[in-house]
Structure formats: structure tokens, C-alpha cells
Amino acid sequence: MAIYLGLDSSTQSLSAVVIEVSPASEKEAANRRVLFDLSLQLDAELPQYGTRNGVLPSSDSQVAHSSPMLWAEALDLLLGRLRKEGLDLSQVRAIAGSGQQHGSVYLAPKFQETMARLNSSLPLAEQIGGLFTRPTSPIWMDSSTHEECEELNRSLGGPAEILELTGSRAFERFTGPQIRKFYREDPQAYSRTEKIHLVSSFMASLLAGRHAPVDPGDGAGMNLMDIRNKEWALLALAATAPGLKAKLPAIAASWTVVGRIAPYFAARHGFSPEAKVVAWSGDNPCSLVGVGLVKAGQIAISLGTSDTLFGFMPELRVDPAGEGHVFGAPTGHYMSLICFKNGSLAREKVRDRLGLDWPGFNRAIESTPPGNDGRVMLPWFDPEITPAVLAPGVKFYGLDWSAGPALARAVLEAQMAAMALHSRWMGVAPRSIYATGGASANRVILQIMADVHGAEVYPFKVGKSAALGAALRAWHADLKDQGRDPSWEDIVRGFAEPDRGGAVRCQPQLHEMYRRFIELYQACEDHALRGGPEPGPKQAAFRAQVRRA
């Protein structure tokens, strides 16, 4: 049997999924299983870093940073815990991982020399503290680089040109604008920086003890990679900061074997010195594989800290509105993605405002009518990514904070309507949706998802889709490294398959109602963001139609 380890360094946690495969019967689903499924919550397990939901507190709502030392210490801690739980790490053939996309890490010279001198009897965090030219890392929730995005637009010819070049318009959370901000605010620290890594390539570099490459999946989330050629876009680099290419890792295919595991981890945690470290990718590309989206025609919705809607894309297609993204897929193709920042934290804030637990939250939803009598919430508790909302603020149409149970329904219907509205550019009318992330266990949420999108929704038994996808990528890369050419459909079979017995089916009459609700929601967005007409008449018409039905 062969064992593969997948890790996921997310905003709030570090997770591991370990899979076991019988090499003699690799195409048979019965000869594969998940051995371990373990998570470490960052705030609770490492409180000394002072994070809240994985983010350092800030007086500026647009600033969101975390600590790269936190991620490094979490890695050391989780590997030790896997060993204590009974996993024989010496049997792990290969390790791959996923990292929260867009976060960046700034390393001083002599990283590789320091990694080679590590003492395996001492914790990792005690020995690498001097390696960072920027002590904190901006992450995907940061929206403080609007000025830098405008500068890039001017330098590169505008949003449409950046979109065509990199697959996304210039987004505040993307790594390129964040690097430019660092260069402008602290040019001396920038000049001292030897390498700028993503969270994914940083974690892979720790494991390998050497600078790891960036893969096209995560590299596409930087506004710095040519999405067609999957190489650094020299014009974008020059517009961002001087000498940037030398400071970035190489771009390499997702199945690249970076090298063998660093001696530190072999000695400290019992890995075989021959264990392979595979290039890491972003959490969204890894989730694509982790939910089995390796061919066209299906989408997935991940309900996490942020909510994301994504799908497999065999050929490149960009969003003309510039709201969606195109990333490289671990299969070598592309993936489409839309990110909504106000995900689980928005749901939790409404739940807490109502003083409810999750069962109570569900009962509140079930006590209110679908469509909420045309009452709409725009749940922008934090600056929003899709649509672009820099100044946070919840907005109401036909209700307020005193609306009681209607608030629970309002936040969910708004989130699902926004997903349906802003995913139209993908050109896919899904018949099925794979649901993953923490909230995918909530069938009340999944029912609204099914009715709004007009599709059957399949939850996943393994909720850690990014970590599972990373483990599957480790297996795939190991086979490729052996000179074999495995099919991705064979790789995901038996692992990345939904719980078909737990399918949530669309109710056709409610889907027709929600088609009208989406148009009402769009009118509310237009009024709030673009000064469109007051949506009151549309709300009245919606209520009248629903009551007649």
C-alpha cells in the first residue's frame, strides 16, 4: 500500500488528509481509503499569535494580515500530532499541499542555508524567526491596495488589458498589488527581500528545505502571470516593482516534484528521507480536484470563511465584467472561480445577532417564506470581493435588524442569489452542484442552494476538499515521477465523489420564484452600488407574484 499526505494551510486552520492506495489495483475504488482526517485550529492551538479567525486585529477594516511564523509553527505541530495519532510517517511516499490564495511571504537571504542547519530537537518556529523581511503577511481578506490597483491599471492599459493578460482584473487582495504596496511603503525592506513566496510555495519550501516553485493554479492569483503561457508576465512585473522577477520563485507544473523532504522533518517527525515534496497549489485549485471536478459540466460551491463557486474549464474563457477569475487547474487545464468574502463569518454574525445556535438558525429560516416576501439584505459586513465593495456596511431593503427570523433567511438568499447572478459569465447552467466546506453539512442551506440554482446539490463526506485534493495531487505527482501517465478520472474515483444518497433536490416551483428573486436582488445591488432606481416597485411586484402563485 502507498500512503500520501495532503495538507491545507487555510485562513483559520491547518488540516491534513492522509490517503492509502493499493498500487496493484490503482483503478479500483475499493482499494483506496482515507486513513486520517485531522485539523488544527490556529486561534485555539496557537493563541500566542493573537489572531482572530486566523487574522491579526487591525484598526483599519481594509487591512488583513496574518503571521507566517504562525503557519510554520502550525506545520510543525500538526505533523507531530499526526505521529501521536498513530500515523507512521515513514510510510508517506509524497506530500502535497494547498495554501490560502493570494497571501504572500517575504524572505531574507540565506533561507536555504538556515533550513540546512536546523536542529531537529528544537521547534521550527524557534529557528526561523530572522528569515522574514516583512513580519506579517497580507492575506486574501486584505483590500487596502486600491491605489496600487489603479496604478497597475494605468501602467498596463486598463482593467480589460490586465484581465486578458492575467485572467483577472487587478484585485486588491491579489499578490501583485500587495507587493507594489510593500515596495512603495518600505523600499529598503523590499530591497533586502530575496524571495517573495505565496503561502503555498512558502509551506512547500519549508518541507523541502529549499525554494519551491509556484504552480499555475496559485500563480494565476497574483496579477503577475501570463494566463495563456503560464509564465511570469514581464510587463506586469515591471509595473509592480523593480527587480521583481529575481525575487519570485519559478513557475512549474502542479505535478512537479520539488525534491525530497528536508532532513529536519525526516529526523524530527520520522519521515523517510526519500519522501517526495510536491509543488503546492492554492486552496481553490486543490478543491477542484478534491471534489472531483476534472471534466466540464459541473460546478462546486465551497462554503467556508469565504464562499467560492468554481468549475473545471477545458479552454480559457475570461469574465468580461472582471468579477470572476481564471486560474490554472492541477490537471493542466483551467478553472473558473468567483469569490465572495462575506461567507461563513456573515452567516455567523447574523446567527449571533439573533442569539441562536445553528439548529435555531435553521428553524428561523424554516419559519419564514421562500423569497422572504421580497425583503433583501446585502450582507456586506466586510469589504466584499464580488461585487466590489470597498466600504463595508450591511444594507437592507424592506427589513432591518429588528426583523427577527427573516434576517436568517435574508443572509442566505442574498448569498445564493449573488452566486447565481455573478456566475452567469461562465456560461454553465449546472444540473448538479458539489457542496463542500464547513456549512455543506447544513441541509437547510443546501436546500436554498438547490432551489436558487435549479440543480441537485451533493454534499461531500470528506469536508476537507482542499486537503483531499492535495493528497490526490501527491499521488498523481508520484505516479508521474515514475514515468506513468495516470488519468485524473482514475485518480479521483472512490475519493472525490459526492454522497449521492444525501442529494438535495431542487423544487421546481421554488426555482421559478427564485429566478424572479435574483432579478430583484440585482436591482438592490444596482441601487446600492451604482445609483440605480429605488427597487421598491420591484419588491412590490415580486410580492404580488409570489402571493398569486
The correct CATH number of 294-459+507-549 out of 3.30.450.20, 3.30.960.10, 3.30.420.40, 3.90.79.10 is: 3.30.420.40
Per-residue confidence (pLDDT) for residue 29, from 0 to 100: 53
Could you read off the pLDDT of 463-495 as tens digits, one per residue?
688 999 999 999 999 999 999 999 999 999 989
Bridge pairing between strands 2-9 and 13-21? antiparallel
DSSP, res 280 = P
Distances, alpha carbon 368 to alpha carbons 163, 365, 494, 535, in Å: 41, 6, 39, 21
Does the domain spanning 2-286 belong to CATH 3.30.420.40? yes
**Overall average pLDDT of the 145-168 stretch:** 97
Could you read off the pLDDT of 187-237 as tens digits, one per residue?
999 999 999 999 999 999 999 999 999 999 999 999 999 999 999 999 999
Distances, alpha carbon 337 to alpha carbons 155, 169, 221, 399, in Å: 26, 13, 11, 31
Please choose, from the candidates 36, 1, 25, 22, the residue with its C-alpha nearest in 3D space to the C-alpha of residue 467: 36
* Nearest-angstrom CA–CA distance, 418 and 400: 20
* Nearest-angstrom CA–CA distance, 371 and 359: 21
- DSSP per-residue codes, 521-540: HHHHHHHHHH----SHHHHH
* Nearest-angstrom CA–CA distance, 377 and 365: 14
> And the C-alpha cell for 422?
455573478
**Overall average pLDDT of the 18-46 stretch:** 84
pLDDT of 334 over the 60 cut: yes
Could you read off the pLDDT of 98-143 as tens digits, one per residue?
999 999 999 999 999 999 999 999 999 999 999 999 999 999 999 9
Residue reference for cell 507512521:
88
Per-residue confidence (pLDDT) for residue 462, from 0 to 100: 63
Contact between residue 211 and residue 249 where contact means Cβ atoms under 8 Å apart = yes
Per-residue confidence (pLDDT) for residue 358, from 0 to 100: 96
Per-residue confidence (pLDDT) for residue 306, from 0 to 100: 87
119 phi/psi in degrees, rounded to 5: -95, 115
* Nearest-angstrom CA–CA distance, 380 and 412: 12
Q: What angle do CA 15, 95, 206 make, to 5 degrees?
A: 80
Per-residue confidence (pLDDT) for residue 27, from 0 to 100: 55
* Nearest-angstrom CA–CA distance, 279 and 253: 8
> And the C-alpha cell for 487?
488519468
Contact between residue 464 and residue 286 where contact means Cβ atoms under 8 Å apart = no
pLDDT of 428 over the 80 cut: no
Matching CATH topology for 2-286 and 294-459+507-549?
yes
Q: Domain segments of the chain: what residues?
A: 2-286, 294-459+507-549
Contact between residue 259 and residue 208 where contact means Cβ atoms under 8 Å apart = yes
> And the C-alpha cell for 85?
495519532
